[in-house]
A and B are shown apart, each in its own frame.
Chain A
Amino acid sequence: MTGVVVAPMLVALVTAVVTLLLRRRVRTRVVVSVAGGLGYALAVAALCWQVVLAPDAPGIATYQVGDWPAPYGITLVADGLSAFMLAMVATVAVAATVFSARYVPSSERRTFYHPLFHFLLLGVTGSFLTGDLFNLFVWFEVMLMSSYVFVAFYGGPLHTRAAFWYVSLNLVASAVFLVAVGGLYATVGTLNMADMARRLAEPAAYGIDARPTVGLLALLLSVFALKAGLVPFQFWIPTAYRAAPPPVTALLAAASKKVGIYAIVRVSFTVFADAAVVVRLPWIEPTTPLAFVGAVLFVMATGSILVGGLGAIDRDSIEGVLAYSSIGQVGFIAVPVAIAATTTAPELRRFAILAALVYALNHSLAKGLLFLAAGTVRHATGTIYFDGLGGLARHFPTLSGTFLLGALSLVGIPPLSGFFGKFLVFDAAVRADASAVIALLLVGSLLTIAYATRAWNRGFWGARSPAVEDATIDPVQVAVLVALALVILAVGVGFDPIYRFADAAAGAALDAETYVDAVAPRGGESG
């Protein structure tokens, strides 16, 4: 039973190593890579079914790596939240793997594409599953190491500059993360998240002075916000997303970003939810760590929605629009998380997390589809700049249809998955009775409509450019796009099971008690 928890990680790890060993056999390597992607999806499906979806599912499962007991060993925890995130990532990962097989030429220089792709997936999976704060840091690094190479993948001036920015920024972030983890260990005396939650809930019983944890939580929050690309940490996104190969960008937008969101939710709501710590800041009356997180997140989300939306309007390329749109969309995910953190009503809190998760799902699917579509356009025409494009809709109706569907899902048109995402986020804001938030969401939605329309008009309508005229399109790439588009449609039409899954995930995110009991860290002595 518990083997399923570790299975997705092992599939990704083994695939990465096998593709690395198959350096000379190019075709076998691609086959192994695609098989690994499918195997990953199967492993994730098994995990979701056994842990959350099956009628007699326990809702949470743990795995002690190397049989070392918690809190000394590394615990892997799969609960509803992890399972939901994994299912979301697996869908996009399969699409991106198949797409890569057709997109990335298999020259000598591209030898490391497939191993790194699966290492990136491994890092994402590990981050979702780990129940240990230091281990989270390690998985972040695994994820980052692979993405560094991908950002510099094409080796041109643009890519080198983007990679330089990306690497230096993330090195600083990693250092901050490490300082925060070290500080928490020094203060609380444990790195296991369940143990930490237990100790922070009653610091006196464990002889802890928990006051420093507030500052450390703020440090963690800034690191996670950087990964998620929330304002003011958004500036690396446009260059990095345009520099990386499109299938990888799809995975970065769909998975790595969500790791940031996941980490915020996990650390705030599982570890710090019951923390008996008072946040004292100048000019503000004493409050709980959660309310503090909520306030900070709300400011960040506001900035993200405005910067992302306004930035996306006047970009000169499809990928530029999509990259800026990613910043704005993460703001939309952060708003309900902020609502959940500020409110004290348990039902609203659960509902707001649910809204954030559904929105995250929609963003992953739609943005994955759009980035892959941009990749197809680039592959076919050799350009993604609006100046060189035009008339794609007439020439490639299927490709354009999937792009339109993805864009409409971002805007939030029924019956696509985006409708429910937007609807639930607005509903959460209405239930929270926050008119400023509703106004912000309205402005953000209008901006989304504006930039999506503009991208469609400039790239897909109008007179056919010479680049479009001469283009030939890859049928497999289009098939992947159509499959993803159908998934978006299916999620929107058959929304009920998704809602129940997301509800279970939201419940799991808030149920710190079950989390602690499942991990069952030993040792009640003072740290």
Chain B
Amino acid sequence: MRTTARAIVPIILVVSISLFVEGHNLPGGGFIGGVLTTTAFAIIYVTFGLDFLERGVFGRDPDAELRPTRERVVDVYRRVFAVGLAIAVTSGLAPLVLGYPFLSQSFVVLEGVPLYDHLEVASALAFDFGVYCVVVGGLLTILSVVGAE
């Protein structure tokens, strides 16, 4: 199980990011990319236990006394959620400042990018990134809080 997890978690993460990046005009997008990222974390939780991220990433011993809702990791997840929401809203408001209707989108195509040759950078990507953060933050909060009970 641990060996499989080591192999598939990076693959899942890469696929989820590629889904997220091409979401504006191909199947994919912030939501499905976020869900896929969450499954990678869920696999880590299932294989290595709930405290692995706390220990491995933050290098701290999770205090058994603390309620799961107050742990550092959960706090980070919540912050990701809030920041993602803020990004999505700001990206919707930005066109207003420039004199276009709420949520207007545009895109530029960059030529000659290494590996990709040409890359479309759509303004929808900012909104999608917000959605991505909201999904990852929200689902991981639920997973770790409910999982700890």
**A residues with CB within 8 A of B:** 3, 6, 10, 13-14, 17, 20-21, 23, 63-67
Contacts and interface: CB of A to CB of B under 8 A. Distances in A.
B89 A13 contact: yes
B75 to A, nearest CB: 9
A21 B102 contact: no
Given A13-B89, A14-B89, A17-B89, A6 B102 contact: yes
B18 interface: no
B100 A67 contact: yes
B85 A20 contact: yes
B89 A65 contact: no
A18 to B, nearest CB: 8
Contacts, number: 35
Given A21-B83, A23-B82, A66 B101 contact: yes
B39 to A, nearest CB: 23
Contacts of B86: 17, 20-21
Contact of A63 (B85, B101, B105): B101
B42 interface: no
A295 B93 CA distance: 45
B109 to A, nearest CB: 20
Contact of A10 (B78, B93, B104): B93
A3 B93 CA distance: 12
Given A6-B102, A63-B102, 6 more contacts: A3-B96, A13-B89, A17-B89, A23-B82, A66-B102, A67-B101
Contacts of A17: 82, 85-86, 89
Interface of B: 78, 82-83, 85-86, 89, 93, 96, 100-105
Nearest to B70: A108
8 contacts: A6-B102, A10-B96, A17-B82, A17-B86, A17-B89, A20-B86, A21-B86, A67-B101
Name A's interface SS: helix
B104 to A, nearest CB: 5
A126 to B, nearest CB: 12
A14 B86 CA distance: 8
Contacts of A21: 82-83, 86
A65 B82 contact: no
B105 A66 contact: yes
Q: Which of B78, B102, B105 has the most CB of A within 10 A?
A: B102
Contacts of A66: 101-105
A118 to B, nearest CB: 12
A14 B103 CA distance: 14
Nearest to B89: A17
B127 to A, nearest CB: 10
A23 B89 CA distance: 18
Contacts of B85: 17, 20
Contacts of A63: 101-102
Nearest to A3: B96
B140 to A, nearest CB: 17
B77 to A, nearest CB: 13
Nearest to B100: A67
A306 to B, nearest CB: 43
B83 A65 contact: no
Nearest to A109: B69
Nearest to A6: B102
Most chain B C-beta atoms within 10 Å of own C-beta, residue among A23, A63, A67: A67
Nearest to A14: B89
A172 B83 CA distance: 32
B93 A65 contact: no
Contacts of A64: 101
Contacts of A6: 101-102
A10 B82 contact: no
Contacts of B100: 67
Most interface-central of A14, A20, A64, A66 (chain B CB within 10 A) = A66
Contacts of A3: 96
B142 to A, nearest CB: 13
A67 B104 contact: yes
A23 B70 CA distance: 13
A6 B93 CA distance: 11
Contacts of A13: 89
B130 to A, nearest CB: 10
A63 B101 CA distance: 8
A64 B100 CA distance: 10
Contacts of B96: 3, 10
